[in-house]
Structure 1
Amino acid sequence: MEARGVEGAEGAEGAEVRVIGLMSGTSYDAVDAAAADLELAGDTLTLRPLGHLGEPYDDGLRASLAAALPPAATTLAAVCRLDTLIGRAFAAVAAEADRQLCGGRAELVASHGQTVYHWADRGTVHGTLQIGQPAWIAEATGLPVVSGFRPRDIAAGGQGAPLVSLVDLLWLRGRPGTPVALNLGGIANLTAPDGTAFDTGPACALLDTAVRERTGGRLPYDVDGALAARGTVHGPLLTRLLDEPYYALPPPRTTGKELFHGGHLRAALAGFPGLPTEDVVATLTRLTARTVADAVRSVRATEVFASGGGTRNPVLIRMLGEELPGVPLRVSDALGLPAAAKEAYAFAVLGFLTVHGLPGTDPVSTGARHASVLGSVTPGRGGLPVVPRAGRAPVRLVVT
């Protein structure tokens, strides 16, 4: 493969860059890739989607990852192996995305990696760890790779999440009223136009855990919401789940499976023996809908654009609609970003901003002292990306 990388033009404005964004979320089920041509002209960043694809983790890797995640104990040897194996998985998907989506002409890869720990304590985030060694991606594609996006914001006093908030602000700018971007992954997060952004709590994290545990692994998640559709919400269990103190923390706040894991669920279920699986799943679905709706109401949203795997659960979407009467709920596809790949596209944007020396955070959203240029760059075969520093940051994102 010939050496390729981002080549600068006379100025950053008008220089189009073909970027692959890579993402695996808190559900840790697959690596998603999205490719786009990105161009900054004046104060407008234009994104032309080229397509997206996903590749599930193989069963062995997913099982090893699950076994190492909190609250389980792990070893540095296990972390090293996972860092390598996940890096190889990301590399394979990046190479395939370059072939299928970019015609072999990608210039940059932006890899979120796999979050394995987010060190949050009483509203303060002290550190975070995403693994998936970017050297494997650079070697497989020949391209420079931007990775390690979150730590810089945390070092500046921020939460390190939700990092898609800057992209959401650019993307929704100019719409009337109070449009809100909502992501329903393992953890749910939202962004409001004033910069308020936070993790609302679990979207699919507890749901997926309950389904896997109660079906002995036969089902990885509630396919099409079928279990929830057959169940009845159990009021006392829902009340106990809603007593979790996290929901009362003010934004900005972030969380993960360090809190919302199997042990959290089993503790809530103590005292309710014999509940049918369908009722447990229905109750957890209502928990997600209620906590998300509470968050949406808190920012006085007039419309919601949702993305993430939770949008494929019709019962969750129905319950969310019941909790938010009068607030239109649409998927992000309505504004040009596919719900299945919106976060991968968002990290493509963040990688583009990084190599142009532009901030990738909004400090209001993350609680940081200032905006920061994010991430580290692993050289491709042609070395570091060569781009001129942009004169100014974009204020809007247009998806063509």
Structure 2
Amino acid sequence: MRVLGLSSGTSHDGIDAALVEFSVTPGGADLRGRLLHHATTAYEPALRAAIRAALPPGKVRLGDVCGLDTRLGQAFAGAATAVLDAAGPADLVCSHGQTLFHAATGGTLQLGQPAWIAERTGLPVVADVRVRDVAAGGQGAPLAPVLDLMLLAGKKGRWGAVNLGGIANLTVAVPGEATAYDTGPGNALIDAAALAVTGEPYDRGGALAATGTVRTELLDRLLVDPYYARTPPKSTGKELFSPAYLDGAGSYPPADLLATLTELTAVTVAAEIRRHRLDHVVISGGGVHNPTLLDRLTRMAQGATLVRSEDLGLPADAKEAVLFALVGWLTWHGLPGAVPAATGARGPRVVGAITPGAEPLRLPAPLTKVPHKLTME
């Protein structure tokens, strides 16, 4: 079965797409995924500006939200058709959409109306994948452990995974200790500061941070945020780590500010790696392109080996989109798409809502065995 996964993360810079062919191995114990194509479609500047204006602490009218839902749906439809034109047909689309607000158990909102995707592609679309978990008492996040735990199943040693997106999240894949949660900011504050002080959307290659000095008084002030002391399950977003979070930090030289925020991400992620005594950590997300951040993280992780997700057959920039391709496959087969140990839900739930495509909706027969391991090819 070929599933097209679509995602746009907390960095809201564009739409990641991955076309994955899934097959169940003989005996049904394992799942194989073959990445056929992946691409990123950048948001048009006007659309990205509209997203940024709608994110907390911005104030928007209901009409603006409705219009943004439509514009994002059309953008996701365009990204989907571009991949299908380039790489061939699919059986299903799973779209995460663009998160506009995430209040954990208080609700979560992803925009990007899936009807536009279904209409443009003619394919059924799984979307709105977080809300069912929230309704079951969970936080609807993180969803990454759905992929991480299957990808790391059976590995010897204490393995984990970190995704360095706008928000950083950690998955602990140690048998008997499996958990996952957002550790705090990944690139969100770094990107916000870079935009404010340089006009560029991010600190390319961590170059500016590399020339700066970590201001310990600012770092210490940031580290007292209560979020870090909370026990999992926990998730966060730009509702907390927004550009407004940096109010009062504008007096620092740009290089020092970027160096300090890069240190903040490294310190908070490394602390959780050490807490769980991980010896191998698979890293992915936009932060892997920031050598300054990776250098600081490697130094602070105290012996844990950082493994690029490419080494497991999963390009770092494609991981989120592959995750949602997997979630779509699971939903289509009536299997849970969230990990209760990570989200805090009362139990596993099949996630998402299905928008039919051009043909009558025909779901497959239930699987007799549930795959617990995923091998990417």
RMSD of aligned C-alpha atoms?
Answer: 1.0
Are 1:142 and 2:128 an aligned pair?
no
Q: 1:386 Cα shift?
A: 3.1
Which residue does the alignment assign to 2:145? 165
Q: 1:119 Cα shift?
A: 1.2
Which residue does the alignment assign to 1:179? 159
Which residue does the alignment assign to 1:76? 62
Q: Is the 8 A contact 1:183 1:306 kept in 2?
A: yes
Q: 1:391 Cα shift?
A: 2.4
1: CA distance, partners of 2:186 / 2:57: 19
2: CA distance, partners of 1:157 / 1:45: 29
Which residue does the alignment assign to 1:262? 243
Which residue does the alignment assign to 2:40? 54
Paired AA for residue 163 in structure 1 = L
**Pairing partner for 1:349 from 323, 326, 351:** 326
Q: Is the 8 A contact 2:164 2:286 kept in 1?
A: yes
Q: What does the per-residue CA deviation read over 1:167-192, in whole Å, with 9 as the maximum and x for residues that have no partner?
A: 11011011111111110000000111
Q: 1:304 Cα shift?
A: 0.6
> Helix, strand or coil for the counterpart of 2:103?
strand
> Helix, strand or coil for the counterpart of 1:35?
strand
Q: 1:274 Cα shift?
A: 3.3
Q: 1:324 Cα shift?
A: 1.1
Q: 1:288 Cα shift?
A: 0.2
Structure 1 runs (4+) deviating above 6 angstroms are none
Q: Is the 8 A contact 1:159 1:253 kept in 2?
A: yes
Q: 1:383 Cα shift?
A: 2.6
Are 1:127 and 2:120 an aligned pair?
no
> Helix, strand or coil for the counterpart of 2:106?
strand
Q: What does the per-residue CA deviation read over 1:186-223, in whole Å, with 9 as the maximum and x for residues that have no partner?
A: 000011113210000000000000010112x3x11000
Which residue does the alignment assign to 2:93? 109
Unaligned runs of 5+ in 1: 1-16
Normalising to structure 1: TM-score of the pair? 0.91
> Helix, strand or coil for the counterpart of 1:386?
coil
Which residue does the alignment assign to 1:299? 276
Q: What does the per-residue CA deviation read over 1:231-268, in whole Å, with 9 as the maximum and x for residues that have no partner?
A: 1100100000101110000011000000001111114x
Q: 1:299 Cα shift?
A: 1.5
> Helix, strand or coil for the counterpart of 1:325?
coil
Q: Is the 8 A contact 1:88 1:136 kept in 2?
A: yes
> Helix, strand or coil for the counterpart of 1:340?
helix
Aligned residues: 372
Worse-superposed segment, 353-362 or 285-294: 353-362
Correspondence list, 1:360-399, <5 A: 360-399=337-376
Q: 1:39 Cα shift?
A: 1.3
2: CA distance, partners of 1:205 / 1:386: 39
Which residue does the alignment assign to 2:182? 199
* Aligned sequence identity (%): 52
Q: Is the 8 A contact 1:355 1:385 kept in 2?
A: no
Paired AA for residue 130 in structure 1 = Q
Are 1:231 and 2:208 an aligned pair?
no
1: CA distance, partners of 2:185 / 2:210: 19
> Helix, strand or coil for the counterpart of 1:72?
coil
Normalising to structure 2: TM-score of the pair? 0.97
Q: 1:393 Cα shift?
A: 2.0
Paired AA for residue 30 in structure 1 = G
2: CA distance, partners of 1:119 / 1:230: 36
Q: Is the 8 A contact 1:182 1:305 kept in 2?
A: yes
Unaligned runs of 5+ in 2: none
> Helix, strand or coil for the counterpart of 2:316?
coil
2: CA distance, partners of 1:347 / 1:93: 15
